Amino acid sequence: MSRRPVVAGNWKMHGTSAAATALAQDILRAIGRLRRVDIILCPPFTALPAVARVVKRRRVALGAQDCHWAEQGAFTGEVSVPMLQELGATHCIIGHSERRRDCGETDAAVARKVQAVVAHGLTPIVCVGETLQERDAGRTLEVVGAQLTAGLQPVTPEQAPRLIVAYEPVWAIGTGRNATPAQAQEVHACLRQRLAARFTPAIARQIRIQYGGSVKPDNSAELIAQPDVDGFLVGGASLDAAQFAAIIRAAAGVPAPATT
């Protein structure tokens, strides 16, 4: 079956509301009317309302970069799923490696967050990925497989088809060193096998698996050509409207416009 490609821009901690508004407007202008791809913009929490205003009436979705698992409570500094939903977010990145590394986020925390996101009808983008040390030790498939199994533990078969999984090798994030198409395909195929075992092969065929880590216009076409690569989670290049649009066009299989 052919899965609809999905490209998300993870803006990380970049952008005041004013800057985010300008970037979102530039991106919409640069992509024009592309129909064959789902697009998600994930600005910082504070810029969600500003970006929501820009993407309203366009087929571009809004995502957050994290959430808390509780509805509300004594959790200083945290943001809950209903709060994100109120701002128009339909997606939420969960378990990004920067949060696992810098905030001590564990697989158990990822699972609780995934549960909260799906319970409210939002779509989690569940991130998995190995470190360079783990890859060099030949442990890549074991590590990402365990992260996937743990993170999706609370998801029911009914909720599963709309999940998005993002494979992001830690050594490729923000380093300019992307996984080769063959490396990405090997991991994506393994993740899909895990999904088939956890749910059913039919459900696994519906779940989209993004690749993330130094995705750029010049490597996106060969990555998306892999049978199990269904889109991208883009960091740095998503902050540049022209680059992000070029990646989206590659994912949609649309040739770049002729330059004059």
- Does residue number 39 form part of the binding site for ligand PGA (CB under 6 A)? no
Q: Which of 159, 214, 220, 243 binds ligand PGA (CB under 6 A)?
A: 214
- Does residue number 251 form part of the binding site for ligand PGA (CB under 6 A)? no
CA-wise closest residue to 105 among 120, 116, 119, 94 = 94
Q: Which of 130, 168, 230, 240 binds ligand PGA (CB under 6 A)?
A: 168
Q: Closest CB to ligand PGA among 174 and 201?
A: 174
**How do 208-212 and 164-167 pair as beta strands?**
parallel
Residues near 182 by beta carbon (within 8 Å), at least 6 away in sequence = none
Q: How far is CA 179 from CA 61, 166, 247, in A?
A: 27, 13, 16
- Does residue number 101 form part of the binding site for ligand PGA (CB under 6 A)? no
- Does residue number 129 form part of the binding site for ligand PGA (CB under 6 A)? no
Its sign, for the CA torsion 213, 107, 228, 44, is: negative
* Least Å from the CB of residue 76 to ligand PGA: 26
Q: Which of 37, 92, 94, 173 binds ligand PGA (CB under 6 A)?
A: 173
- Does residue number 233 form part of the binding site for ligand PGA (CB under 6 A)? yes
Any idea which residues carry the catalytic annotation?
96, 168
Q: Closest CB to ligand PGA among 8 and 160?
A: 8
- The size of the interface with ligand PGA (CB under 6 A), counted in residues, is 13
- Does residue number 66 form part of the binding site for ligand PGA (CB under 6 A)? no
Stretch of 116-124, 168-176, 220-228, 252-260 contacting ligand PGA, by CB under 6 A: 168-176
What residue ranges bind ligand PGA (CB under 6 A)? 10, 168, 173-174, 212-215, 233-237
